[in-house]
Amino acid sequence: MIKYLDLKRINDMHDAELRQAVSHVFDSGWYLKGEATRQFEQHYAEYIGTRHCIGCGNGLDALTLILRGYIELGVMVPGDEVIVPATTFIASILAITDCGLRPVLVDASPDTLQIDDSLIEAAITPRTRALMIVHLYGRCAYTDRVGELCKQHGLLLIEDNAQAHGCIVNSSLFTLHASLTKTGSLGHAAAHSFYPTKNLGAMGDAGAVTTDDDRLADVIRTIANYGSAQKYVFDYIGRNSRIDELQAAILDAKLQRLDKDNRRRKEIAAIYINKVNNPLIRIPLSDRDSVWHIFPVLCEKRDALQQYLLQNGIETQVHYPIPPHRQRCYAQWNHLSFPVTEQIALQELSLPCHQALTNDEVTYIAELLNAFG
Ligand SMILES: Cc1ncc(COP(=O)(O)O)c(C=O)c1O
C-alpha cells in the first residue's frame, strides 16, 4: 500500500534533528513564549522575506488574527467585504465570517484552479476592503492583474499561504515585483498553517502571520495574547493563540530542510507530468511557481479512478468534495453557482506527492493511471 501521505516516513527523515529539538525544549523547562519561539519566528520571517513573523495556534487563527488586526486598526469595519476564491479550504472563509466581514466568492480559473483574476473586478464594490488569495495546492495564486486591481482600488492583499511554504515566485513574469520573492511576502499580510500534513508541518497544531506592517504585527501579537501588551492590562477583546515551544523547535529544525523537501516534491510532480498520458485524466497545473503541497488531477470518472487506484494499493484524497458555498454552515449561499469550483469538486483527485516517495513508487502510480480506462 502506498499511503497518500506517510507522516511517519516523512518525519523519520528528520529523526535526529527532531529528537534533538524536542529534547532541547524538554531540558529547558520552558514551554511557551520562549527562546524556541523567538528563534523560529526570526528564522521564518527571514526565510519568507518579511520584517515580522508572529507565531500562533494554527492557520485559521492566523487568518482571523490578520482580519481582527485590521478591524482594531480601523482599516476595516464589520460588514466590509473581502473577496476570496470559491475554491478553497473552508478556513479561508471561516476567518472572514468569524470577524463579521462579508466574503465575496469568486470562481476559479479552469487552467490554474486558483481565483480567476478576470472575474475579480466585477466583484469589487464600495465596501470591498481586501482581496484574499489562496495559494491552493502549493501553487502561487498571485498574478499581475491581482496586483494591479489591489493598487487601483486600494485593496489590502492578504495571502492564505497555508499550502505553499517556500514557494518562490518567478517574478520576471510580474511587472509589480522586481526580485525573486516567496509567497507569504507578496501582499500586506499572510497566514501560514503548520498543520502536520503541510509542506512545513508541525507535530501538532501551529500557525503564523508574516507581514512588513509594524502596526499590524503589534496589534496581532497583542490580540493573540488575550488583547494584552502589558501584563493584566487589556486593550482589545483578545484571544489566546500561541505556538508552543515544542512545535516552534520542531518547525525550526524542519525549516532547514524545507527547500530540499520542496525540490523533491517538484521531482515527483515532474514524473507525473512527464509520464501520465491518458485522455481520461487531465493534469491541470504546470510546474510553474508551485511547491506541490497537493498534486491534483481532474477526471470525469473520479470516484471510479479513486477506487481503481485503491484496489491497486494506492491511497488518494479529494480536495475538496463539497465547496464552501454548498456547505450547510453557509446555507445562505447554497443557491449560488460557481461552475468551475463545482466541476473541480466533482473531478479533483489528489495523488500521493511527498518527499519520502521513491521514483519507483511514483512511476508505478503513473503507469497505473495510464492503464485506467
Ligand atoms: C488553504 C488553507 N487555509 C487555512 C487552513 C487552516 O489551517 P489550520 O488547519 O492550521 O487551522 C488550511 C489547512 O488546514 C488550508 O489548507
Report how far ligand 1's centroid is from the alpha carbon of 191 (Å).
Answer: 9
With beta carbons less than 8 A apart as the criterion, state whether 160 and 138 touch: no
Report how far ligand 1's centroid is from the alpha carbon of 59 (Å).
Answer: 5
Ligand 1 atom, smallest distance to 95 CA = 4
Per-residue cell: 247 = 512545535
Report how far ligand 1's centroid is from the alpha carbon of 60 (Å).
Answer: 6
Q: What is the pLDDT of residue 306?
A: 98
Over residues 80-93, mean pLDDT: 98
Please state, in angstroms and rounded to a whole number, the distance separating the CA atoms of residues 311 and 165. Answer: 33
Please state, in angstroms and rounded to a whole number, the distance separating the CA atoms of residues 162 and 244. Answer: 18
Q: What is the pLDDT of residue 174?
A: 66
Over residues 86-94, mean pLDDT: 98
Per-residue pLDDT of 5-32, as tens digits, reads 999 999 999 899 999 999 999 999 999 9
Report how far ligand 1's centroid is from the alpha carbon of 66 (Å).
Answer: 14
Over residues 175-199, mean pLDDT: 88
**What is the CB-side half-sphere exposure of residue 141 using CA atoms within 13 A?**
32
Starting from the edge strand earliest in sequence, which strands make up the sheet with 207-211, in order?
A: 52-56, 207-211, 189-193, 156-160, 128-134, 81-85, 102-106
Over residues 51-56, mean pLDDT: 98
| Terminal-to-terminal C-alpha distance of the chain | 22
Residues with CB under 6 A from ligand 1: 58-60, 88-89, 91-92, 134, 160, 162-163, 193, 195, 205, 207
- Quickly state the pLDDT bin for 178 (edges 50, 70, 90): low
Nearest to 250 by CA among 44, 1, 5: 44
Q: What is the pLDDT of residue 170?
A: 75
With beta carbons less than 8 A apart as the criterion, state whether 265 and 292 touch: yes
Nearest to 348 by CA among 358, 340, 359: 340
- Residue from 66, 89, 320 whose mutation best tests the ligand 1 pocket (most atoms within 8 A of CB): 89
Over residues 320-330, mean pLDDT: 98
Q: Which residues, listed in sequence order, are joined to residue 237 by a DSSP beta bridge?
A: none
Give the residue whose CA is nearest to atom 15 of ligand 1: 162
Mean pLDDT rounded to a whole number for the chain: 96
Per-residue pLDDT of 259-273, as tens digits, reads 999 999 999 999 999
> Does the pLDDT value for residue 173 go beyond 70?
no
> Does the pLDDT value for residue 2 go beyond 70?
yes
- Residue from 98, 195, 243 whose mutation best tests the ligand 1 pocket (most atoms within 8 A of CB): 195
- Quickly state the pLDDT bin for 287 (edges 50, 70, 90): confident
> Does the pLDDT value for residue 176 go beyond 80?
no
Ligand 1 atom, smallest distance to 194 CA = 10
Report how far ligand 1's centroid is from the alpha carbon of 371 (Å).
Answer: 34
Q: What is the pLDDT of residue 228?
A: 97
With beta carbons less than 8 A apart as the criterion, state whether 245 and 40 touch: no
Q: What is the pLDDT of residue 127?
A: 98
Please state, in angstroms and rounded to a whole number, the distance separating the CA atoms of residues 55 and 63. Answer: 12
What sign has the CA pseudo-torsion 342, 344, 348, 353? negative
Report how far ligand 1's centroid is from the alpha carbon of 365 (Å).
Answer: 27
Read off the pTM. Answer: 0.97
